[in-house]
């Protein structure tokens, strides 16, 4: 039950990208949501936040709605498994419609009886299998919800990244316009050849085209995001958040400890319980059930009645279900082997993702705290030197290219880090912030015990 609760909590909080995508001022807070009881939608009707996007995905995703019918169908199978076999009523007539004294029904014997099967553990086995199927399907439904939420978070990050790219593109266009104006002044003063002005204007045109390209990509990303909850005409034009805000990372050991509680391992454990129930059912079916019958016989000759009772016992080989038992046992072993293989694969993936995330965070810190500030300062100095005639247009343009490349690298590395966080959270089933809180609680608990 604790594991199921964890999955549900993860589905709601999934990939709020921790502090990464916290809503900007003006967005309804969690406290406001708790007090009003209404979905957390942004104040601006043309934008949306991550929590609202995931909520709408849970409520209206077409794939999730289609899977709900599979759950209802399994409910019918579970109901059917709980129904016991119906007793059989029989009627027979003997010593009638023959020859001689038996040409009529005066000497007939008529029997009315009822028979039923003693199912024993077989009926309970069918019910266990149905319950196991329901548990597995419920787990699969939770996994589909988590997958849908993870995909929504991924598309949300892509939309947020395109917004940041658009912001960079605007700054780039502004820088290109500033360059055109500066070069134009020097051309007018006869200090610079007109070819440099033509090159500056061509660069401005290229940057404007790049800005338009990003606008198209942003609109497409918004459309893909809205499709997650079945909308083909998005009601919003932007998403809320800051692509550069990242959560505190956890150690590899902390992340590995959560793998056994991940949704995929939960699915395998549900499948294991189902196969165990199927094995138990196959073993209970190794001996055919007994059949008991009871009835009353009427003797037409004497007009008397008598009780008739009987029991049918299986005859032949001791077990006629050996093949099914072997199949069920081997399927169970296969699932356990798959769990071992999945653990190795997940630990390897987790290590790679964790290492790549740490490297991305190191690059972000270097570009944000060291590389970009120095290049920005160099750009200012180079512009002043160009206006004074100390640097050529080519030298100024070279520094501009370095600044733009650094800005782009910082942005793309931040996007890459956000996407890796989504993969890690999906793999472990626990958001980064929740892991941090859990570890903090454990540490404080240990201190309390010592005191």
257 within 8 A of 52, measured Cβ to Cβ? no
296 within 8 A of 114, measured Cβ to Cβ? no
Interatomic CA distance for residues 69 and 434, integer angstroms: 32
178, two tokens: 């500033």
Report the chain's terminal Cα–Cα distance, integer Å: 32
Domains of the chain: 2-84+119-286+321-441 (1.20.1600.10)
Report the candidate in 170, 152, 296, 295 with the shortest Cα–Cα distance to residue 225: 152
321 within 8 A of 278, measured Cβ to Cβ? no
pTM for this model (two decimals): 0.67
Report the candidate in 429, 432, 414, 438 with the shortest Cα–Cα distance to residue 18: 432
Interatomic CA distance for residues 179 and 173, integer angstroms: 10
Sign of CA dihedral 196, 199, 205, 208: negative
Q: What is the pLDDT of residue 316?
A: 60
Interatomic CA distance for residues 318 and 447, integer angstroms: 62
159: CB partners within 8 A, 6+ apart: 218, 221, 222, 225, 238, 239
Q: What is the pLDDT of residue 24?
A: 34
- What band does 28 get if pLDDT is binned at 50, 70 and 90? very low
Q: What is the pLDDT of residue 285?
A: 65
Among 225-229, 288-292, 351-355, the minimum mean pLDDT is found in: 288-292
Taking residues 272-282, report their average pLDDT: 66
Over the stretch 153-198, which tens digit does the pLDDT of each residue have? 899 999 999 999 999 999 999 999 999 998 998 888 888 888 989 9
Decide: helix, strand or coil at residue 238: strand
Q: What is the pLDDT of residue 439?
A: 34
Phi and psi (nearest 5°) for 103?
-75, -15
DSSP letter for 102, please: G
23, two tokens: 């809503």
132 within 8 A of 270, measured Cβ to Cβ? yes
DSSP letter for 21, please: G
- Tally DSSP H helices, then E strands, for the chain: 12, 6
The Cα diameter of the chain in Å comes to 140
The runs of H, that is alpha helices, within 85-228 are: 121-188, 194-227
Decide: helix, strand or coil at residue 448: helix
Q: What is the pLDDT of residue 279?
A: 66
The DSSP bridge partners found for residue 310 are 293
344: CB partners within 8 A, 6+ apart: none
26-63: b or e for each residue (b if 16 or more CB lie within 10 Å)? Answer: ebbeeeebeeeeeebbbeeeebbbbbbbbbbbbeebee
Interatomic CA distance for residues 100 and 103, integer angstroms: 6
Q: What is the pLDDT of residue 1?
A: 41
- What band does 438 get if pLDDT is binned at 50, 70 and 90? very low
Q: What is the pLDDT of residue 287?
A: 66
Taking residues 130-143, report their average pLDDT: 77
Q: What is the pLDDT of residue 416?
A: 92
Taking residues 221-234, report their average pLDDT: 92
The H-or-E segment that residue 299 falls in is strand 290-299
Phi and psi (nearest 5°) for 253?
-65, -40
Q: Considering the chain, what is the average pLDDT of its residues?
A: 77
Among 112-116, 172-176, 362-366, the minimum mean pLDDT is found in: 112-116
- What band does 205 get if pLDDT is binned at 50, 70 and 90? very high
The H-or-E segment that residue 412 falls in is helix 393-428
């Amino acid at each position: 039950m604790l594991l199921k609760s964890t999955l549900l909590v993860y589905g709601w909080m999934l990939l709020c990208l921790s502090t990464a995508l916290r809503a900007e001022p003006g967005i309804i807070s969690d406290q406001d949501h708790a007090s009003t009881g209404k979905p957390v939608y942004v104040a601006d009707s043309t934008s949306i936040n991550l929590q609202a996007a995931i909520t709408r995905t849970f409520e209206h995703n077409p794939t999730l709605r289609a899977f709900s019918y599979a759950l209802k169908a399994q409910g019918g199978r579970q109901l059917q498994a709980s129904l016991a076999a119906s007793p059989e009523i029989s009627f027979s007539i003997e010593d009638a419609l023959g020859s001689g004294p038996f040409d009529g029904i005066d000497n007939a014997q008529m029997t009315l009886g009822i028979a039923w099967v003693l199912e024993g553990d077989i009926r309970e086995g069918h019910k266990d299998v149905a319950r196991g199927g329901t548990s597995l399907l419920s787990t699969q439904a939770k996994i589909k919800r988590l997958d849908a939420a993870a995909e929504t978070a991924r598309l949300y990050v892509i939309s947020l990244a395109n917004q940041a790219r658009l912001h960079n593109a605007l700054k780039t266009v502004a820088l290109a316009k500033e360059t055109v104006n500066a070069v134009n002044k020097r051309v007018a003063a006869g200090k610079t050849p007109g070819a440099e002005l033509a090159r500056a204007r061509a660069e401005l045109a290229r940057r404007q085209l790049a800005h338009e390209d990003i606008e198209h990509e942003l609109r497409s990303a918004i459309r893909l995001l809205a499709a997650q909850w079945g909308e083909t005409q998005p009601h919003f034009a932007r998403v809320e958040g800051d692509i550069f805000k990242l959560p505190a990372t956890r150690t590899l050991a902390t992340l590995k400890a959560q793998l056994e509680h991940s949704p995929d391992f939960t699915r395998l454990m549900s499948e294991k319980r189902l196969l165990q129930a199927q094995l138990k059912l196959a073993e209970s079916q190794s001996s055919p059930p007994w059949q008991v019958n009871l009835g009353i016989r009427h003797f037409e000759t004497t007009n008397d009645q008598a009780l008739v009772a009987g029991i049918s016992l299986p005859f032949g080989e001791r077990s006629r279900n050996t093949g099914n038992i072997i199949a069920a046992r081997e399927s169970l072993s296969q699932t356990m082997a798959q769990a071992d293989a999945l653990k190795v694969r997940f630990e390897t993936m987790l290590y790679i993702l964790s290492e790549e995330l740490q490297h991305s965070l190191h690059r972000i810190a270097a570009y944000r705290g060291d590389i970009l500030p120095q290049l920005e300062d160099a750009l200012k100095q180079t512009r002043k030197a160009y206006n004074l005639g100390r640097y050529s247009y080519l030298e100024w343009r070279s520094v501009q290219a370095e600044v733009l490349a650094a800005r782009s690298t910082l942005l793309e590395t931040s996007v890459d880090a956000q996407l890796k966080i989504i993969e890690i959270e999906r793999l472990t089933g626990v958001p980064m912030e929740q892991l941090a809180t859990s570890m903090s609680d454990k540490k404080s608990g240990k201190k309390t015990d010592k005191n």
